[in-house]
Amino acid sequence: MKPSFSGLLSALLPLALSGPALADVSHSIQGRFGVAYTQGPGASRGQAEPLFEGRYTTTIDHQADNGMRFRFELGVMFGNLDPDRRPLSPFESRASAADRRN
């Protein structure tokens, strides 16, 4: 029998909630949305593609009794955006940005 996602979530939820008693825990949720327009050479019509990305990160900071500080980050990322894609100004095109990188 395979464990279900809800079973895994219910098993991990008490650990996540008890974490602040053991260490400083912070959670981060980020989202980006956009649209890409592509048109092939010689094509009369272009195509719009929806883009999205979601990130969830949990950071755990713990200071040991001897003063050493430990930091752990666990993150999940999903979507169809290229991680290197950055926002461009309206006056800049993807082609000119690619030319600068080469």
Q: Which two tokens stand for residue 23?
A: 């260490």
What is residue 56's predicted lDDT score, i.e. its pLDDT? 92
Query: Contact 69/43 with Cβ under 8 angstroms?
Result: no
User: Is the residue at 68 inside a domain?
Assistant: yes
Q: How far apart are CA 86 and CA 51, in angstroms?
A: 13
User: Is the residue at 4 inside a domain?
Assistant: no
What is residue 64's predicted lDDT score, i.e. its pLDDT? 84
User: Is the residue at 10 inside a domain?
Assistant: no
User: Is the residue at 18 inside a domain?
Assistant: no
Edge-to-edge strands, sheet with 47-63: 24-38, 47-63, 69-79
Residue tagged 């912070």 (tokens) = 26
The domain tally of the chain equals: 1
User: Is the residue at 13 inside a domain?
Assistant: no
| Residue 10 in this model has a pLDDT that exceeds 80 | no
The 10s digit of each residue's pLDDT in 11-27 is 666 666 554 456 688 89
Query: Contact 74/57 with Cβ under 8 angstroms?
Result: yes
Global confidence as pTM:
0.48
Domain region containing 79 = 23-101
